[in-house]
Chain A
Amino acid sequence: EAGVAQSPRYKIIEKRQSVAFWCNPISGHATLYWYQQILGQGPKLLIQFQNNGVVDDSQLPKDRFSAERLKGVDSTLKIQPAKLEDSAVYLCASSFERHLSYEQYFGPGTRLTVT
């Protein structure tokens, strides 16, 4: 089966600019996750969708980050305005259902550099 797709793979922006990342999960997967991975740390969950609804966004900095999954398939994550500390790899993952007995499959990630 095709894996989780993400684009772009790399992005360099200046602080205070905006940026958007796109994710297409594995076909049929109801649950979609966005993680932020800062250099030297493990992935941190930003937001979790079940179909087109938000299940958990407790760690999403909502003053600057937003995400949507309007049709319950692909998703976009936006940062506006970006800060230097947003430099990280943004990982998208999907699973068949939200219970963790279902494996999460990760995309290749988008490496964001904010200068």
Chain B
Amino acid sequence: AQRVTQPEKLLSVFKGAPVELKCNYSYSGSPELFWYVQYSRQRLQLLLRHISRESIKGFTADLNKGETSFHLKKPFAQEEDSAMYYCALSARSGANSKLTFGKGITLSVRP
């Protein structure tokens, strides 16, 4: 069975400070990992996926298979980054895939 662990519920930083949102996973297969974000009064939306290896809104995340981690990082936080962030893992079953989400972390960026 697959599991996603986000060990912290809340991270509060000042604007301009670095941010690291932690995510660890357990899965016996080859994982596909994602970060989803929900801004206040908005819908849950995809932020980035590890296979894309891209930076979105200044955020990056590297899959570390040795440590089974997929931490989300940003060198300089902005107030508009304040939101709820969810790490998610895709588990394959035949031709199908389904997402397992972590419990999420609230990022608060203070001015």
Contacts and interface: CB of A to CB of B under 8 A. Distances in A.
Interface of A: 3-4, 40-45, 48, 55-56, 91, 98-101, 103-109
B97 A98 contact: yes
Contacts of B17: none
Contacts of B100: 45
Interface in B90-111: 90, 93, 95-104
Contact of A40 (B96, B98, B103): B103
8 contacts: A40-B9, A41-B104, A42-B4, A42-B86, A48-B98, A99-B95, A100-B32, A104-B99
A63 B46 CA distance: 32
A41 B44 CA distance: 13
Contacts of A105: 45
B101 A42 contact: yes
Contacts of A42: 4, 86, 88, 101-104
Contacts of A103: 46
Contact-residue size bin, chain B (C-beta under 8 Å from the other chain):
20 to 34
Interface of B: 4, 9, 32, 43-46, 51, 86, 88, 90, 93, 95-104
A15 B45 CA distance: 32
A108 B32 CA distance: 25
Contacts of A45: 98-100
Contacts of A98: 95-97
A47 B65 CA distance: 29
A103 B56 CA distance: 15
B104 A55 contact: no
A104 B101 CA distance: 13
A56 B100 CA distance: 13
